Amino acid sequence: MAVINVALAGRAYDVVIEAGLLARLATAAARFLASYAGGRAVPLVADENTHRLYAASVEASLASHSLTADWFVVTPGEDAKSWAVLEELTDWLLALGVTRSDHVFALGGGVVGDLVGFACAITKRGCGFVQIPTTLLAQVDSSVGGKTAINTKAGKNLIGAFHQPSLVLIDPLVLGTLPEREMRAGYAEVLKYGLLGDAAFFDWLEANGNKVLAREPAALEHAIATSIAMKAAIVAEDERETQDRRALLNLGHTFGHALEAETGFSQALLHGEAVALGMVLAARYSARRGEISAADAERATAAIAAAELPAALPALGLTCDGARLVEHMRHDKKAEATTLPFLLLKAIGEAYVARDVDLADIAAFLDEELAAR
Ligand code: ADP
Ligand code: ZN
């Protein structure tokens, strides 16, 4: 078992990582269930998959503490992060009589966590919530740090709030039912932590990544705990991404966002897959600038390829050019922008924010990459 504290003044909270935690939910979250002791049902949100797989276990644990569950179940997929579902969910919470001192429980991947977090940020001007992330991506990344959001016509995650959970409960055993492709996509964010700030962890992943992907409990717990410890430290230093510190967590995400946009944010390319290729591009561009060594850029690429994640641009079969991908990066920024901050690598384990990157040079680089191999 590992417990990592996210040290935010006045709003510090624990992330608990332990196999079997879900089945012990009522004990693990006892403090945040106390307000339901009077007989009101505990509000839980899941998607159809996590509800089908894990509701019985959650209900059994609650029942052992004389608590009952009331579920709000959404359709799996990004469409749940919408105004329409947010309205239904907040209406449901209000109808239940949720108060500011109550906690709502989010059982699912990043979609459920983002939706519930935002609903709780605005319900009664902020009620509590507990994250129980069930995808590797949500366990190592989105469940910690307080970024919550829904999607709108203008783009993903543009309407949201910073609202920290009161507790995050991570049970690596629930990854046993996660589809293989989702597992690998989440693993891209694990590799991200090694690449951005911890060369020793990257070494460990090179040697043990196959055990993580095979969901061996000890390896999985180590990978999750190391990832979360880094995220917690970064969030504690820069909660609202006002300095470069929290921006480091976006390694691979600017290139990745362009790839997701070009593929229509569809199942053709999952977020983690886009980040994986985005990290390859960030490493290769950094090598082209003479920063990270070519050998280390190749190591980063090899680790991503070894996880069977996309590691070369031609693999996506895109028909666009580099300039079009750069247009996607400019999205939301001034259309005439000629530069954007980029997360680049000086070495494995050492990312930094480069502010001198010329977008025309990025387009030329992407054209080279699209034509390569
Ligand atoms: P992410 O966490 O990557 O943002 P989602 O919340 O969209 O992803 O979840 C990805 C998919 O995995 C969804 O179809 C969801 O229902 C499913 N899922 C989530 N957790 C589990 C699990 N532990 N076992 C099986 N399927 C799961
Ligand atoms: Zn990400």
What confidence score (pLDDT) does residue 338 get? 87
What whole-number distance in Å separates Cα of residue 299 and Cα of residue 15? 31
DSSP character for 224?
H
- Mean pLDDT of the 257-283 span: 96
- Mean pLDDT of the 94-104 span: 97
Q: Domain containing 62: what range?
A: 2-177
Residues 69 and 14 in one domain: yes
3-state secondary structure of 330: helix
> Which of 182, 184, 189, 273 best tests ligand 1's pocket when mutated (most atoms within 8 Å of CB)?
182
Q: Which of 177, 193, 216 is where one domain is finished? A: 177
In terms of Cβ atoms closer than 10 Å to its own Cβ (0-12, 13-18, 19+), residue 367 is middle
What whole-number distance in Å separates Cα of residue 83 and Cα of residue 80? 9
CATH of the domain at 58: 3.40.50.1970
159 pLDDT higher than 70: yes
**Rounded mean pLDDT of the chain?**
96
- Asked if 231 is an active-site residue, the reply is yes
325 pLDDT higher than 90: yes
- Mean pLDDT of the 70-88 span: 98
Residue 282 in contact with residue 345, Cβ under 8 Å? yes
Q: How confident is the model at residue 155 (pLDDT cuts 50, 70, 90)?
A: confident
Residues 217 and 307 in one domain: yes
Q: Which atom of ligand 1 is nearest to the CA of 113?
A: 6
* Residue type for position 107: L
Residues 197 and 271 in one domain: yes
360 contact partners, CB below 8 Å, separation of at least 6: 338
Catalytic, out of 51, 59, 103, 189: 189
State the total domains in the chain.
2
Question: What is each CA distance from 27 to 121, 158, 231, in whole angstroms?
Answer: 25, 36, 26
335 pLDDT higher than 70: no
- Mean pLDDT of the 347-371 span: 97
Q: Which of 160, 177, 194 is where one domain is finished? A: 177
- Asked if 78 is an active-site residue, the reply is no
- Asked if 163 is an active-site residue, the reply is no
Residues 11 and 148 in one domain: yes
* Residue type for position 261: A
Residue closest by Cα to atom 4 of ligand 1: 110
> Which of 47, 79, 131 best tests ligand 1's pocket when mutated (most atoms within 8 Å of CB)?
47
Question: pLDDT tens for residues 165-179?
Answer: 999 999 999 999 999
Residue closest by Cα to atom 22 of ligand 1: 178
Residues framing ligand 1 (Cβ under 6 A): 47, 49-50, 53, 76, 108-112, 134-135, 137-138, 174-175, 177-178, 182
What confidence score (pLDDT) does residue 372 get? 86
Q: Which of 177, 204, 225 is where one domain is finished? A: 177
Residues 259 and 350 in one domain: yes
Residue 308 in contact with residue 182, Cβ under 8 Å? no
Percent of the chain topping pLDDT 70: 98
Residues 213 and 303 in one domain: yes
Residue 279 in contact with residue 192, Cβ under 8 Å? yes
DSSP string, 163-209: ---SEEEE-GGGGGGS-HHHHHHHHHHHHHHHHHH-HHHHHHHHHHH
Residues 69 and 207 in one domain: no
Residues 364 and 216 in one domain: yes
Catalytic, out of 163, 271, 284, 299: 271
Q: How confident is the model at residue 116 (pLDDT cuts 50, 70, 90)?
A: very high
Question: What is each CA distance from 122 to 10, 91, 158, 331, in whole angstroms?
Answer: 19, 12, 15, 27
What confidence score (pLDDT) does residue 332 get? 58
CATH of the domain at 310: 1.20.1090.10
Question: What is each CA distance from 72 to 86, 213, 236, 306, in whole angstroms?
Answer: 11, 31, 31, 39
Residues 196 and 256 in one domain: yes
* Residue type for position 330: R
Question: pLDDT tens for residues 229-263?
Answer: 999 999 999 999 898 889 999 999 999 999 999 99
Q: How many Cβ atoms from other residues are within 10 Å of residue 151's Cβ? A: 21
Residues 9 and 154 in one domain: yes
Catalytic, out of 192, 257, 284, 299: 257
Residues 227 and 357 in one domain: yes
What confidence score (pLDDT) does residue 217 get? 94
Residues 223 and 342 in one domain: yes
Percent of the chain topping pLDDT 90: 94
Q: What is the dihedral of CA 52, 53, 56, 59, to 10 degrees?
A: -90
